[in-house]
Amino acid sequence: MNSLPRIRLEKRLDTPRWLGVATPVFSVLAALLVIAVIFGLLGVNPLVAYARIFTGAFGSLYGLSETVTKAIPLMLAGAGLAVAFRARVYNIGAEGQLLIGAVCATGVALFVPGVPDGLRLPAMFVAGALGGALWAMVPAVLKARLRIDEVLTSLMTVYIASELVNYLVYGPWKGLYESGFPYSDKFPPAAQIPRIGITRIHYPTLILALLAAVLAYFLVRRTRWGFEIRVTGENPEAARYAGMNYLRTAMLVMALSGALAGIAGVGEVAGIHYRLRYPQGISPGYGFTAIIVAWLARLNPLGVILTALLIGGLLVGGDAIQLAMGLPSATVYLFNGMILLFVLGGDLFTRYQIRIELPGRAVATPVRLEREEVG
């Protein structure tokens, strides 16, 4: 045996309920602690920064309304990703699907004549959902037909979608009345999603987002198809023996997560900006941040409602410290990456018991051996 202490993981038979809630919370706290250290090393006072993040996001009505506003796209994309990841289908391309949703909505808002005013917005939402789903079909079909791993292809479609938006706003869709800026023309009033009062909360999209999370939850928990998703994700072998069609499930969850991300894109252009803008102007990486939202909720679509609000707050607070302390926009990625890493590590506590073996001590007891065999 080694002279170093060894870390051993033992599978748990069942996860206590409180652990399922406690681990994400502690994971986030641990991540924030490590980020504080990095802030310190980079010469940023972490206490001041954290205080500003908190007051920025939750300390005022304006901050709270912005938190809800930013939670909308995270909730939509996050709910879809939670379902996809459940089936172990790694759609990393939600950001691209969101952008395509925005493009489709813009197309319907500005370039389709003859749509009655009352139908303009519904048509935009449908177009955005379809666009996002179709865009997600690129990696889905490649996976189904050629067995190409969806991680890379879905990510490539993000870059392509982003350049497509650039092409449109610098080229054919560049607004006639937007001199100099890479923006499309402003949407007509019938193509603008209403907001609550003076806030930027475009509530119809918020309602859609809440509905999506609830429906996704019921889909996963209460339907036959959801059962297939869960079995496929937890035990692909068993799913195959039971005659479940993995590739069909993969296509369906890709389409679903793409459609929801597409709707998120519609909300951003029609609820916030009222125009198509350069890609980072539409989404500061909502599609990627939604990955963390989904994981933090432990892939439970209902939990996504909560984690979307939490991470939305972090984004608002992040904006506040960027302005106040002169930090770059990439700071948000530091939070994203660190939280994801710790949530991933924290997940371990729910699935395994961790034992540290000191050198020279035999620690195998019969009870534990039994557990291993079951696991």
Partner 1 sequence: MSIWAYIFSVLQAAIPAGTPLLYGTLGEVTAERSGVVNLGVEGMMIMGAVTAFGVAQATGNAFLAIAAAALVGGLLALIHAFASITLRVNQVVSGLALTMLGQGISGMMGKRFIGMPPRVQLKPVPIPGLSDLPVLGPLLFQHDLLVYIGLLMVPVLWFLFYRTRWGINLRSVGESPATADAMGVNVFQVRYLAVFFGGLMAGIGGAYLSIVYAPAWIEGMTAGIGWIVIALTIFAMWDPVRGLLGAYLFGSVRVLQYRLQGLGISPPLLNMLPFILTILVLMFSAGEAMRKRLGAPAALMQPYTREER
Considering only 130, 164, 210, 244, the residue that binds partner 1 (CB under 8 A) is 164
Determine the residue type at 171: G
Q: How far apart are alpha carbons 332 and 285 in whole angstroms?
A: 9
For residues 260 and 212, the answer to whether their CB atoms sit within 8 Å is yes
Considering only 82, 209, 220, 327, the residue that binds partner 1 (CB under 8 A) is 327
Q: In angstroms, what CA-CA distances link 19 with 22, 37, 103, 256, 297? A: 5, 26, 42, 30, 13
Q: How far is the CB of 223 from partner 1 (least distance, A)?
A: 25
The three-state secondary structure class of 256 is helix
Is residue 333 involved in binding partner 1 (CB under 8 A)? yes
Is residue 340 involved in binding partner 1 (CB under 8 A)? yes
For residues 60 and 52, the answer to whether their CB atoms sit within 8 Å is no
Considering only 32, 130, 306, 347, the residue that binds partner 1 (CB under 8 A) is 347
Span of 102-110, 146-154, 232-240, 260-268 interacting with partner 1 by CB under 8 A:
146-154
Q: How far apart are alpha carbons 322 and 231 in whole angstroms?
A: 44
Is residue 25 involved in binding partner 1 (CB under 8 A)? no
Place of tokens 């939509």: 76
Q: How far apart are alpha carbons 157 and 138 in whole angstroms?
A: 8
Is residue 152 involved in binding partner 1 (CB under 8 A)? yes
Residue numbers 192-251 binding partner 1 by CB under 8 A: none
Q: How far is the CB of 166 from partner 1 (least distance, A)?
A: 4
Is residue 48 involved in binding partner 1 (CB under 8 A)? no
Considering only 144, 201, 216, 332, the residue that binds partner 1 (CB under 8 A) is 332
Alpha-carbon Rg for the chain, nearest whole angstrom, is 22
Dihedral sign, CA of 234, 240, 241, 242?
A: positive
For residues 260 and 80, the answer to whether their CB atoms sit within 8 Å is yes
Among 225, 289, 307, 281, which residue's Cα sits nearest to residue 77? Answer: 289
User: What secondary structure letter does DSSP report for 269?
Assistant: I
Considering only 62, 111, 167, 218, the residue that binds partner 1 (CB under 8 A) is 167
Is residue 170 involved in binding partner 1 (CB under 8 A)? yes
Considering only 116, 180, 328, 360, the residue that binds partner 1 (CB under 8 A) is 328
Considering only 92, 102, 105, 213, the residue that binds partner 1 (CB under 8 A) is 92
Is residue 185 involved in binding partner 1 (CB under 8 A)? no
- Interface residues with partner 1 (CB under 8 A)? 7-11, 38, 42, 44, 90, 92, 138, 142, 146-149, 151-153, 155-157, 159-160, 163-164, 166-167, 170-171, 288, 291, 295, 326-338, 340-341, 344-345, 347-348, 372, 375
